[in-house]
Amino acid sequence: MTTRSSRTATRRGFTVQLLAGASLAVAGLCMTSPALAQAFPSKPITIVVPFSAGGTTDILARIVGQALSAELGQPVVVDNRAGAGGNIGAALAAKAPADGHTLFMGTVGTHAINASLYKKLPFDPIKDFAPLSRVANVPNVLVSHPSKPYKTVTELIAYAKAHPGQVNYASSGSGSSIHLSGELFEAMTKTGMVHIPYKGSAPAVNDLLANQVDIMFDNLPSAISHVRAGKLRAIAVTTSKRSEQLPQVPTIAESGVPGYEATSWFGLFAPAATPAPVVGKLNAAIVKVLGQAEVKKKIVEQGGDPHPEKPEQFAAFIQAESIKWGKVVRDSGASLD
């Protein structure tokens, strides 16, 4: 049995390991010859996306990938490897050659949730990856098919309690932020809803559009076009503040569930043994393209908030997120093999 003290020790070890890794990368950058960075990239770059095409992770990877191609002078290809809450794609990227030519678009799920949710992972989110930069923070939005009888959070809660076990919510996969947003809502409202995982956001949204599932706490970028077209009803956003892209849509917290907050984030990683000069060149390129007006516009139009940062800043952020979502997983009782 895992004790509280052992869990605390694990978290402390996680923190030390994460920050030490980032420090070593920075130190290596100072000590290693710049020749590696000058020669990189020497061939096309692949961004592994651990979810299906059309979802938020994929959308952001393609926006940033196109800009990185122009910045680095090589084609950037997106490789979608969906399944197991992002674990299949993450394991593939972790084992790729550590030369900077294979990157990974990680998420709050792959790098801050899955380590607590899954009993065993085919990769280590800390040891196997070098953080490059966060790409964007993204609100989730609670959406339903327009034919559903509930239009507000209060109405949804009342309906779910009157029909126990009959309201289901789709997600992009077990352990994703979309899933945990639903788990958190279910726990705080005691509504007893049923989780239906998919291999990515896009197929889940397709079934929502077809009225095959009831609701979804989807990432805003993959749902916003359907909301604007009237094909989905936006009930509330999961962040503490309203989205600038959907200012008329209230937050879940202000809709009768005080204290509720869930934000998705996305960031780029390289395999852990990637040379520090290459990590430095990739970080500089990512930060530069995220500052470009056209790239920022595209991300904001999708409902995201661009967030470039240094590798060590990204590493510290991941550590804090892991603690937060680890508690949500434990409190929810969720566990996957």
Which of 224, 255, 286 lies at the terminal end of a domain, its last residue?
A: 255
Q: Check whether residue 52 and residue 119 sit in a common domain.
A: yes
Pairwise CA distance, residues 254 & 232, whole Å:
21
CATH of the domain at 194: 3.40.190.10
- How far from 95 is each of 17, 91, 98, 104, 265, CA to CA, in Å? 20, 6, 8, 11, 23
Q: Are 53 and 202 in contact (CB under 8 A)?
A: yes
Element (H, E) at 216: strand 215-219
Q: Check whether residue 244 and residue 299 sit in a common domain.
A: no
Does the pLDDT value for residue 16 go beyond 50? no
Which of 255, 283, 313 lies at the terminal end of a domain, its last residue?
A: 255
Q: Check whether residue 98 and residue 116 sit in a common domain.
A: yes
Is 184 inside a domain boundary? Answer: yes
Q: Are 52 and 203 in contact (CB under 8 A)?
A: yes
- How far from 281 is each of 72, 276, 294, 310, 313, CA to CA, in Å? 9, 9, 21, 11, 16
Q: What is the pLDDT of residue 36?
A: 64
Q: What is the pLDDT of residue 35?
A: 66
pLDDT, averaged across the chain: 89
Confidence band for 275, pLDDT divided at 50, 70 and 90: very high
189-207: average pLDDT: 92
Convert the pLDDT of each residue in 103-143 to its tens digit: 999 999 999 999 998 989 999 999 999 999 999 999 999 99
CA torsion sign for 19, 20, 24, 25 is negative
**Could you tell me which residue, 334 or 97, shows the higher pLDDT?**
97
Is 337 inside a domain boundary? Answer: no
Convert the pLDDT of each residue in 47-60 to its tens digit: 999 998 988 899 99
Which of 255, 283, 308 lies at the terminal end of a domain, its last residue?
A: 255
Q: Are 68 and 76 in contact (CB under 8 A)?
A: yes
Pairwise CA distance, residues 222 & 337, whole Å:
28
Q: Check whether residue 276 and residue 245 sit in a common domain.
A: no
Does the pLDDT value for residue 147 go beyond 70? yes
Pairwise CA distance, residues 282 & 268, whole Å:
9
Tell me the pTM.
Answer: 0.79
Residues 6+ apart with CB under 8 A from 14: 126, 319, 322
Is 57 inside a domain boundary? Answer: yes
Q: Check whether residue 9 and residue 80 sit in a common domain.
A: yes
Does the pLDDT value for residue 1 go beyond 80? no
Q: What is the pLDDT of residue 34?
A: 62
CATH of the domain at 288: 3.40.190.150
Domain count, the chain: 2
Q: What is the pLDDT of residue 13?
A: 47
21-45: average pLDDT: 64
Q: What is the pLDDT of residue 325?
A: 87
Q: What is the pLDDT of residue 329?
A: 86
Domain that holds residue 183: 139-255
